[in-house]
Structure 1
Amino acid sequence: MHVLLTEAKFGDCDALSKPLRDNGCRVSRCHARDGICLALVPGSSCPLDDRADPPVLAVDVRDAGDELTAREFGVVCALRKQVPVAIVPPEPGLPVAAPAGLEDRVTVTDAETLLATCQAAVAIPRPRPEPAGAIG
């Protein structure tokens, strides 16, 4: 399962990255370490444009602020690509809210529930595509 991470503030999604990987997810981020959108970095591309293994879920780590920060624009990109978006707080127990205008388009959850859902999704056996030229 390929998960795309974005965040309201630099470093907010760091704590979620390793647990997602430990649960069998491939994790990509919207931004390079210097904060630039990967679609704008020379020689790079947006993970949402990956045709072989596109993200099936975008996760935005944010607090209870009403408006998207510039670091969260990946939420809009994901929604445009019809990729579901989950919103989680940067720390357990902190209040979290969907950005204004997106309340009906995203799911607000916590990291523990998100990890359990991802773990269950990764455990579902998927049929392997047949090699080209295979005769059935």
Structure 2
Amino acid sequence: MHVLLTEAKFGDCDALCQPLRDNGCRVSRCHTREGFCLALAPGTTCPLDDRADPPVLAVDVRAAGDEITAREFGVVCALRAQVPVVLVPPAPGLPVAVPAGLADRVVVTDAESLLATCQAAALIPKQRPMPAGTAR
């Protein structure tokens, strides 16, 4: 399972990367360490443009705040690419504010539930594309 991570504040998604990997996920981020969008940074491409293994889920780590930050623009990109988006707080017990316009387009959960879902999804064998003209 390929998961795209973004965050409201620099470093918010750091703690989630390794647990996602430990649960069988391939993890990509929206930004370089310096904060540049991968679609715009020299020598990089957006993970959403990966045709061989595109992200199947976008996770935005955010707490309070009514507006999307510049570091969260990947949420908009994911929604445009029809990739489901999940909002997760940066620490257990913190509330998650859903920005205006996203209320009917995202799911809010906690890290524990997200990891359980990813672990279950990673156990499902991937269906490989069949060559053209081949029946299943």
Tell me the TM-score normalized by structure 2: 0.94
Is the counterpart of residue 40 in structure 1 residue 37 in structure 2?
Answer: no
In 2, are the aligned partners of 1:5 and 1:28 still within 8 Å (CA)?
yes
Number of residue-to-residue matches in the alignment? 136
Counterpart check, 1:17 vs 2:17: yes
Structure 1 runs of 4+ aligned residues shifted over 6 Å read none
Q: CA-atom RMSD, angstroms?
A: 1.8
5+ unaligned residues in a row in structure 1: which ranges?
A: none
CA distance in 2, matches of 1:41, 1:85: 23
Letter in 2 for 1:42: P
User: Structure 2: where are the runs of 5+ without partners?
Assistant: none
Confirm or deny: 8 A CA contact 1:30 1:46 kept in the other structure.
yes
Q: Deviations over 1:47-94 (max 9, x none)?
A: 000000000000000002110000000000000000000000000000
The question of whether the paired residues in 2 share the 8 Å contact of 1:2 and 1:25 is answered with yes
> Cα offset for 1:128?
3.3
> Distance in 2 between the 1:18 and 1:35 partners?
19
**Identity, % of aligned positions:** 81
Cα drift, residue 130 of structure 1: 5.1
The letter for the 2-side match of 1:80 is R
Number of the residue aligned with 1:93: 93
